[in-house]
C-alpha cells in the first residue's frame, strides 16, 4: 500500500504531441494536460496509491473512444480507462506517461426492454440508476455493490462486481448479456447476445473481470429481474464470532439459498450503529443479516427455517424486519460500513479476499491474532454467504510506520485466504494492490497463460499495463518463483 512514487518529470514534448493528436478530433476542453486539471484523476478509491496522468481524455461518443485508442496505439502511448473512480484496488491508477481515458460522460440509458427484461446502457451509467429507470416496469438490476449509488456499470464489468445479493442472483458476469468494446487498435467488437448459448469461446466471461487489460467497454446490455413480491430480513446477534461464522455454513448446508447473507463483527457494528442508527445490538460480538425474498408464503417459510438454524448455532437473539422500512434500515447499516469506519479511524484499508464458508470462524480468529501481531485494529464486514471477506484495517497515515504495518497486515490476510483454500479477491479486483499476492496464488504456467491472453488482445501491452497480472520476473523478485533464462514468453510486455 506504500504510495507509488512520482515518476520522472513529464516529457513536455511528448505530452504536447499526444495532446495535439487527440485535439485533432476532440474539443479542446475534452483534452486535459495542465497539472491542476489532471491531478483530480491521480487515484481511485484506494487513495494510498497516487500517480498524476500525463493527459486526460474526456470523450462523449463511441467513435471518439475508438479514435483515442487508435491514436494512442499509433503513438505507443499506454491507456488506462476510468469510470467513477470508486475502485478499491488501484485498477484505475493512471500512468505518468500515459492517457487516462475517462468514460464519465457516457451516462445514457439507451433502451429498456420490459418484454426481454433487459437494459442497454452506456458504461458511465451508475449501477443504481439502472434499477431506478427499470422500476416503472416492476424490474431491477440485481448486483448491488455497497457503492452502487456512485459506481458505474463499466467499472462493475471490469471488476466483475457483486454485492449483498450476489449469493442468490450472481455477480456481474451472471447478469449481463452483451458488451460492445473497443480494442487498443480502435476496432469495435460486439461480444455476447440474447441467446442462451453461442458458438466459440465465451469472450463475454473473459472480458468481465479483465480489469481494463483487454478492451474498453463502450456499451453494456444487462439482464433485469422482476422485483420480488415480498422480502424480510432476519437479524441474528451472537456472543461469539466463530458461532456466527459456523451459522453461515449451517444455513447453506440446510439447503437454504437466501437473497443475501451478510456478517459484521462488533467493531463494525458499533461504528455503524453510531453512524446510521440501524438498530444493531452493540453488545453482540457479531451479527448476521439474512434476507429472504419471493412470495409471502415462501418468505415466511424460509425465515422460520433460518431462525431455527441461527438459534441452533447459538444466536442470543433473532429478530425479523417488521416492514420494508425496517428491512431497508438493516441493510443501510451494512452498506454504510465503509463510510462508518471513517468515523472511528483517520484512515482505513479495505481488503477483499474469499474463503470457503466452512472456514469463516477459523479465519476470523486468525485475523484477530494478526491484530495483536501488528498492533492495529480490524473491523470485519463481508458477504458471508459466498465467503467474500472485507476486513477494514484501521490505521493513521500520519504515524510513522503504520502504512507499512498495514500493508503487511493486509498481505497476510490475503495469504491466509489462500491457505484456507480461497482466493485473493472476490469483487474488488487485483489492480496494483494485490499484484504480489498473484504470485502466491498462481504458478508460472498459469501466469504465462494469462499473458498469452493479454498478448492476443493487446500485443504491445498498452492497455492498463502493470495491473492485475504480474510478470514472472516480478514474482521472482517477490521470492515466489525462479525464472530460468528464456522462460518469459512475452518479454515485450511492460515489466512493472
| Range 5-9 contact pairs with CB under 8 angstroms and sequence separation of 24 or more | 6/51, 6/52, 6/96, 7/51, 7/96, 7/97, 8/96
Domain 230-338 indexed as CATH 3.30.70.2190:
yes
The second-level CATH assignment, the architecture, of 109-226 is 2-Layer Sandwich (3.30)
Model confidence band, residue 112 (pLDDT cutoffs 50, 70, 90): very high
- Rounded CA-CA distance 89/429 in Å is 6
Q: What DSSP designation does 31 have? A: E
Contact of 239 with 304, CB cutoff 8 Å: no
CATH of domain 12-102: 3.30.43.10
Query: Looking up cell 461504528, which residue turns up?
Result: 271
pLDDT tens sequence across 422-474: 999 989 999 999 999 999 999 999 999 999 999 999 999 999 999 999 999 89
Cβ contacts of 433 within 8 Å, gap of 6 or more: 1, 46, 49, 88, 89, 90
> Of the ranges 76-85, 191-200, 371-380, 449-458, which one carries the lowest mean pLDDT score?
191-200
Q: pLDDT value at position 488?
A: 56
- Rounded CA-CA distance 294/364 in Å is 32
Taking the CA atoms of 461, 464, 465 and 467 in sequence, report the sign of the dihedral they define: negative
pLDDT at 205 over 80: yes
Model confidence band, residue 155 (pLDDT cutoffs 50, 70, 90): very high
Query: Looking up cell 497463460, which residue turns up?
Result: 449
- Rounded CA-CA distance 484/301 in Å is 60
The pLDDT of 417-426, averaged and rounded, is 95
The pLDDT of 199-208, averaged and rounded, is 95
Helical packing angle, 12-22 and 62-75, nearest 10°: 140
- Listed residue (212, 16, 186, 7) closest to 97, CA to CA: 7
Q: pLDDT value at position 342?
A: 83
Q: pLDDT value at position 317?
A: 97
Q: pLDDT value at position 335?
A: 86
Question: What do you get for the CA distance between the two ends of the chain, in Å?
Answer: 15
Sorted by where each begins, the domain ranges of the chain are: 12-102, 109-226, 230-338
The three grid cell numbers given for residue 135, joined into one nine-digit string: 422500476
pLDDT at 143 over 60: yes
Query: Looking up cell 409471502, which residue turns up?
Result: 296
By DSSP bridging, strand 55-57 and strand 99-102 are parallel
3-state DSSP assignment of residue 226 = strand
pLDDT tens sequence across 48-107: 789 999 999 999 999 999 999 999 999 999 999 999 999 999 999 999 999 999 999 999
pLDDT at 493 over 80: no
- Rounded CA-CA distance 363/413 in Å is 9
Model confidence band, residue 482 (pLDDT cutoffs 50, 70, 90): low
Cβ contacts of 418 within 8 Å, gap of 6 or more: 424, 437, 440, 441
Provide the H-helix boundaries in 210-289. Answer: 241-253, 266-276
Q: pLDDT value at position 7?
A: 47
- Rounded CA-CA distance 49/39 in Å is 13
pLDDT at 47 over 80: no
3-state DSSP assignment of residue 252 = helix
- Rounded CA-CA distance 1/95 in Å is 17
Query: Looking up cell 443479516, which residue turns up?
Result: 289
Bridge partner residues of 378 (DSSP): 393
> Of the ranges 53-67, 112-126, 268-282, which one carries the lowest mean pLDDT score?
268-282
The reported pTM is 0.92
Amino acid at each position: 500500500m506504500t504510495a507509488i512514487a512520482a515518476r520522472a518529470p513529464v516529457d513536455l514534448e511528448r505530452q504536447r504531441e499526444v495532446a495535439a493528436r487527440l485535439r485533432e478530433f476532440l474539443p479542446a476542453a475534452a483534452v486535459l494536460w495542465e497539472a491542476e486539471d489532471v491531478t483530480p484523476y491521480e487515484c481511485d478509491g484506494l487513495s494510498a496509491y497516487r500517480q498524476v496522468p500525463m493527459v486526460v481524455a474526456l470523450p462523449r461518443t463511441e467513435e471518439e473512444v475508438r479514435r483515442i485508442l487508435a491514436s494512442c496505439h499509433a503513438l505507443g502511448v499506454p491507456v488506462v480507462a476510468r469510470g467513477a473512480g470508486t475502485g478499491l484496488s488501484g485498477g484505475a491508477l493512471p500512468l505518468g506517461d500515459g492517457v487516462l481515458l475517462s468514460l464519465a460522460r457516457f451516462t445514457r440509458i439507451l433502451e429498456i426492454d420490459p418484454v426481454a427484461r433487459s437494459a442497454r446502457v452506456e458504461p458511465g451509467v451508475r449501477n443504481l440508476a439502472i434499477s431506478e429507470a427499470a422500476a416503472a416496469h416492476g424490474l431491477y438490476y440485481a448486483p448491488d455493490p455497497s457503492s452502487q449509488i456512485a459506481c458505474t456499470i463499466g467499472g462493475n464489468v471490469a471488476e466483475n462486481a457483486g454485492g449483498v445479493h450476489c449469493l442468490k442472483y450472481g455477480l456481474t458476469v451472471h447478469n449481463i448479456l452483451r458488451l460492445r468494446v473497443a480494442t487498443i487498435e480502435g476496432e469495435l467488437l460486439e461480444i455476447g447476445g440474447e441467446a442462451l448459448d453461442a458458438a466459440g469461446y465465451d469472450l463475454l466471461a473473459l472480458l468481465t473481470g479483465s480489469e481494463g487489460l483487454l478492451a474498453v467497454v463502450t456499451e453494456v446490455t444487462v439482464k433485469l429481474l422482476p422485483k420480488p413480491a415480498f422480502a424480510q430480513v432476519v437479524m441474528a446477534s451472537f456472543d461469539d464470532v466463530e458461532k456466527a461464522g459456523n451459522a453461515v455454513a449451517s444455513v447453506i448446508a440446510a439447503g437454504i439459498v437466501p437473497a443475501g447473507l451478510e456478517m459484521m463483527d462488533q467493531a463494525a457494528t458499533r461504528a455503524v450503529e453510531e453512524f446510521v442508527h440501524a438498530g444493531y445490538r452493540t453488545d453482540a460480538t457479531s451479527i448476521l443479516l439474512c434476507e429472504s425474498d419471493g412470495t409471502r408464503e415462501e418468505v415466511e417459510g424460509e425465515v422460520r427455517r433460518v431462525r431455527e438454524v441461527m438459534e441452533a448455532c447459538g444466536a442470543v437473539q433473532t429478530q425479523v424486519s417488521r416492514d420494508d422500512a425496517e428491512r431497508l434500515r438493516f441493510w443501510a447499516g451494512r452498506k454504510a460500513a465503509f463510510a462508518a469506519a471513517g468515523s472511528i479511524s483517520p484512515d482505513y484499508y479495505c481488503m477483499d479476499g474469499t474463503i470457503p464458508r466452512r472456514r469463516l470462524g477459523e479465519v476470523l480468529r486468525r485475523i484477530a491474532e494478526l491484530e495483536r501481531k501488528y498492533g492495529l485494529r480490524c473491523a470485519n464486514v463481508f458477504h458471508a454467504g459466498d465467503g467474500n471477506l472485507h476486513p477494514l484495517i484501521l490505521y493513521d497515515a500520519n504515524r510513522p510506520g503504520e502504512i507499512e504495518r498495514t500493508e503487511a497486515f493486509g498481505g497476510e490476510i490475503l495469504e491466509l485466504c489462500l491457505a484456507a483454500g480461497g482466493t485473493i479477491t472476490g469483487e474488488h479486483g487485483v489492480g496494483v494492490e494485490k499484484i504480489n499476492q498473484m504470485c502466491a496464488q498462481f504458478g508460472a504456467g498459469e501466469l504465462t497463460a494469462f499473458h498469452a491472453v493479454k498478448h492476443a488482445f493487446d500485443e504491445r501491452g498498452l492497455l492498463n499495463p502493470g495491473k492485475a497480472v504480474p510478470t514472472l520476473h516480478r514474482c521472482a523478485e517477490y521470492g515466489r518463483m525462479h525464472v530460468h533464462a528464456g522462460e518469459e514468453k512475452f518479454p515485450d510486455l511492460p515489466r512493472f
